[in-house]
Amino acid sequence: MNRNPFIDYPMFADCIWGSGDCTSIGLADQHLFDGIKVYPIPSQTILHIETPYLLSITQVSVYDILGSKVMKQEIILPNANKDLSLDISHFQEGNYLLLLNTSKGVYKKLFSKNE
């Protein structure tokens, strides 16, 4: 990894300076996810995610502030359990971006990890 977000993630550069589709990284459709609850923020060890009845999560990803992926978890049975708990005790203190791939698109949420 080069630690340059425009080299490591060229889709962002194309979105900013090119003709790329910026909708996948925007927050325009966040109203589709009004029923999702992520708590506690800030968190120390466990991050809880509650989802509404008709929403299925298929993948959970967490990125640090530099854009490095620190966690990726596939959800095998998306309808079996509507609530998730993520162990973030091994994360360093700081800010993170949570991405949830769902049946309605990608949900994005910033959260902080405290010691």
What is the domain extent for residue 40? 29-113
Q: Dihedral sign, CA of 76, 39, 68, 56?
A: positive
Q: In terms of DSSP H, where are the helices of the chain?
A: 5-8, 10-17
Record the pTM: 0.71
Query: Which domain CATH number covers 71?
Result: 2.60.40.730
- Rounded to whole angstroms, the maximal C-alpha distance in the chain is 42
Which carries the bigger pLDDT value, residue 83 or residue 4?
83
Tell me the pLDDT of the chain averaged across its residues: 78
Domain count, the chain: 1
Highest mean pLDDT among 49-53, 75-79, 97-101, 104-108 belongs to 97-101
Closest by Cα among 31, 35, 34 to 51: 35
Is the pLDDT at 101 greater than 80? The verdict is yes
- Specify if 88 maps to a domain: yes
The CA distance from 47 to 113, in Å, is 9
Q: Residue 108 contacts by C-beta under 8 Å, 6 or more apart in sequence?
A: 27, 30, 97, 98, 99
- Specify if 5 maps to a domain: no
Which carries the bigger pLDDT value, residue 11 or residue 71?
71
pLDDT of residue 25: 47
